[in-house]
Amino acid sequence: MPPPEGCPDRPPGPRRRPRTARHEGHPLAVRPLLRRAVRLLGATALTLAATLTTAGPAHADFGADYHDPYTATRPLTRPDTRSCTVEVMHDREFRNGYGSPPDTPYTATLTPPADCAGPWSAVVLDLHGEVAGRQFDRIFSVRIGGVQVLLSSTPEPSKDGIAWNVERDVTRYAPLLAAGPQPFSLDLANVTDATYTGVYRITASLTFYTTSDRWPAARTADRLLTTGPFSLTQAAPTATRDLTFPQNLERLTAEVYTRGGGACEEFAYASAPDAFVSANPSLGACGKGPFRELRLSVDGRVAGAVWPYPVIYTGGWDPLLWRPVPGIFAFDLPAYRLDLTPYVGLLLDGRPHTVGITVNASEAQSNDVWTGQMNLFADTDHGAARTTGQLTDHRVAPEAAVTTTLADHGGGSGDWTVTAARHDRARGWVQTSHGRITTEVRDDLAFRSAQQLRDGGNDVALHDATDLTRSTATSGGGPHRTTTVHEGEPLDVTYRVTRDAAGNTDQQTAMDLGYHREATAATGGHVTECTTVDHTLRPTAHRHDGDRTVRTGSSTEDYRGTGPDGPYHRTIGTVDGWPVP
């Protein structure tokens, strides 16, 4: 059966932002990486950062203050039912994550409220943070019952101080909460000293929403399993965990939280091919190229791949870019979801099975690592104690097909284009109490990075584009059902530093980030549900030192969405840290 058409009521316009000729054939970013490398590698990296005027976090540069972080993205739609809020952490300070003892992670016990007993229509995690002074952006994680439910980062503060909020729909983790009190942890490793004075203070609460006719109990998995935290490096690129699955398993979905950290891997999307790095050692450029994939495996068999979004935090490239609008996903990093249902037939024997995750490439410089956690959502057959099944078709590549073209112009200048692709298919059936259910999962993924480097890293242009299509088709036990998700993830960067004979330095940075998503569900070939997101962010920053001092920045963010809650559209603009009409 052919896949259903896209959203019938989608507003006119492109599904994904078209590529613009302005950046075609351009892109890299070695020197902007080095701003972060300075703080990680110390004095050995200082010579590599000579082109930058802001090697490290600073006060707001627009003055002593700027507007609290805010965004055009759609807020969560919350049920209008009776609710109960449980505050699990109040105004907790994160000052020194490496002290003796460290002040992280913060741990407590989360007890669902008896006055709002489950099942719930929704459960929402709310965080409120405050910080003042001078500080780097910091990554932090929230876990409930050992299961990761949020991966986030902090803003860099102004001297006078800022406050920010994060809301996270954690309804899908309700099976943990329904089991009773659970350990809660928030892990934020901060460092303070005479220079970096910012202390992060965070309050966390969960709100439990009861049900009504309009807001029925949310459908969630029957059981959650997790691999626990993983850490992947060039020396140890694979992590595994043995898990035992329910013997009446019917469907299985994985979600992966992950992010690259360290002097290079935080900026992996802007890395150079190894051949260019080897030919130009004086540049100090990061290698392994710009493509990263994390491959999931079941008993050693590759079962799917995650291509991480190029999240840029509030200290990335130039902090002025992100004051006050954070980069896309910077405060709520994605949890990448993969349908593993075709493999269910391999997991029903009651024995432990090895679930693994591997990164395709990573740098070996100080602190370079991919960290995260994998959660598995298991749906069981409520009408049978055991199910049976079989994987009948497995055409999943052991790794993506990657090609690299490189033109090294000498003198630290070069052009390269890196492409990657996957066209995977897996099919399997499960015999259940309501019939034999056959599931086919297809992934068609494409990546392209065109980069240009000139003037020893002082002139950089980068154009990355990722296009992902993932579909699941299910037959048996009723009409044919399909779900399809299209995602487009463009990133354009231009970065230029110049110096004149008088010693004046001028630095200009411009970015164009995007996230575009269309998700459809269909039954019998008729679309039954459709949601869309078109999110763009265009920040700029300008610094000048010498005959005059310039610190200026601006941004325009546009967010459009459609779905069951109706259409949504908001555009915001900022100049020098403050909103403009």
List, for residues 391-415, the tens digit of each pLDDT value: 999 999 999 999 999 999 999 999 9
Query: Cα(273)–Cα(225) distance, rounded to whole angstroms?
Result: 38
pLDDT of 428 reads 98
Burial of 564 (0-12, 13-18, 19+ CB in 10 A): exposed
DSSP 59-89: S-SSSS--PPP---SPPPP---S-EEEEEEE
Rounded Cα distance, 236 and 299, in Å: 18
CB-CB contact of 93 with 136 (8 Å): no
Closest CA to 230 of 330, 343, 127, 306: 306
In sign, the C-alpha dihedral spanning 244, 247, 248, 252 is: positive
Amino acid at 158: S
Mean pLDDT score, 441-466? 97
pLDDT of amino acid 452: 97
Tell me the DSSP string of 317-340: S-GGGGSSSPPTTSSS--EEEEE-
- Gap between the Cα atoms of 207 and 124, Å rounded: 5
Q: How far is 87 from 184, CA to CA, in rounded Å?
A: 11
- Residue 2 three-state SS: coil
Q: Across residues 237-262, what is the average pLDDT?
A: 98
Q: Where are the alpha helices (DSSP H) in 114-207?
A: 174-178
Residues 328 and 236: their CA atoms lie apart, in Å, by 30
Report the distance separating Cα 291 and Cα 300, nearest Å: 23
Beta strands in 411-549 (DSSP E): 413-432, 435-454, 459-475, 481-499, 505-523, 526-545
Burial class (CB in 10 A: 0-12, 13-18, 19+), 181: exposed
Q: Answer for the pair 137, 129: CB distance below 8 angstroms, yes or no.
A: no
In this predicted structure, the answer to whether residue 485 has a pLDDT above a threshold of 60 is yes
Q: Is the pLDDT of residue 529 over 50?
A: yes
Beta strands in 170-298 (DSSP E): 182-188, 200-209, 223-232, 238-243, 249-261, 294-298
Q: Cα separation of 230 and 370, whole Å?
A: 8
What three-state secondary structure class fits 181? coil
- The tokens 């509030």 sit on which residue? 314
Instruction: Using pLDDT thresholds of 50, 70 and 90, give the confidence band for residue 548.
Output: very high
H-helix or E-strand containing 39? helix 31-41
Phi/psi at 364 (5° precision): -115, 20
Average of pLDDT values for 310-334?
Answer: 97
pLDDT tens per residue, range 58-71: 444 777 889 999 99
pLDDT higher than 90, residue 55: no
Locate tokens 């900022």: which residue? 574
Res 478: pLDDT: 87
What is the total residue count of the chain?
Answer: 581
Q: How far apart are CA 136 and CA 138, in angstroms?
A: 6
Please tell me the distance from the alpha carbon of residue 515 to that of residue 489, in angstroms, as a whole number. 5
Kindly state the tokens that stand for 153.
Answer: 């980062």
110 phi, psi to nearest 5 deg: -95, 120
Share of the chain above pLDDT 90, in %: 87
Local confidence band at 10 (pLDDT 50, 70, 90 cut-offs): low
- Give residue-wise pLDDT tens across range 60-104: 477 788 999 999 999 999 999 999 999 999 999 999 999 899 999
| Statement: 60-219 belongs to CATH 3.60.20.10 | no
Alpha-carbon span 361 to 373, nearest angstrom: 18
Cβ neighbours around 146 below 10 Å, total: 15
Phi, psi of 264 (to 5 degrees): -115, -40
Span 428-440, mean pLDDT?
97
At 176, is the secondary structure helix, strand, or coil?
Answer: helix
Residues 209-230: what's their mean pLDDT? 97
DSSP reduced 3-state for 57: coil
Q: Which residues contact 410 (CB under 8 A, 6 or more apart)?
A: none
Task: Say if residues 88 and 184 touch (Cβ distance below 8 Å).
Answer: yes
Over the stretch 500-521, which tens digit does the pLDDT of each residue have? Answer: 999 999 999 999 999 999 999 9
The secondary structure of residue 37, as a DSSP letter, is H
Residue 27 pLDDT greater than 60, yes or no:
no
Six-digit token string for 335: 């949890």
CB burial of residue 237 (10 Å; 0-12, 13-18, 19+): middle
Task: Check pLDDT > 90 for residue 45.
Answer: no
What local confidence, expressed as pLDDT, does residue 67 receive? 96
Q: What is the mean pLDDT of the chain?
A: 90
Residue 581's pLDDT is 84
Find the mean pLDDT for residues 466-492: 96
Pairwise CA distance, residues 86 & 125, whole Å: 10
| Amino acid at site 179 | A
- Average pLDDT of 234-259? 98
| Alpha helices (runs of H) in 274-366, residue ranges in sequence order | 274-279
Instruction: Please tell me the distance from the alpha carbon of residue 125 to that of residue 172, in angstroms, as a whole number.
Output: 12
Indicate the domain borders of the chain: 60-219, 221-580
Phi, psi of 89, deg, nearest 5: -155, 130
Kindly provide the b/e burial profile for residues 290-300, where b requires at least 16 CB atoms within 10 angstroms of the residue's own CB: bbbbbbbbbee
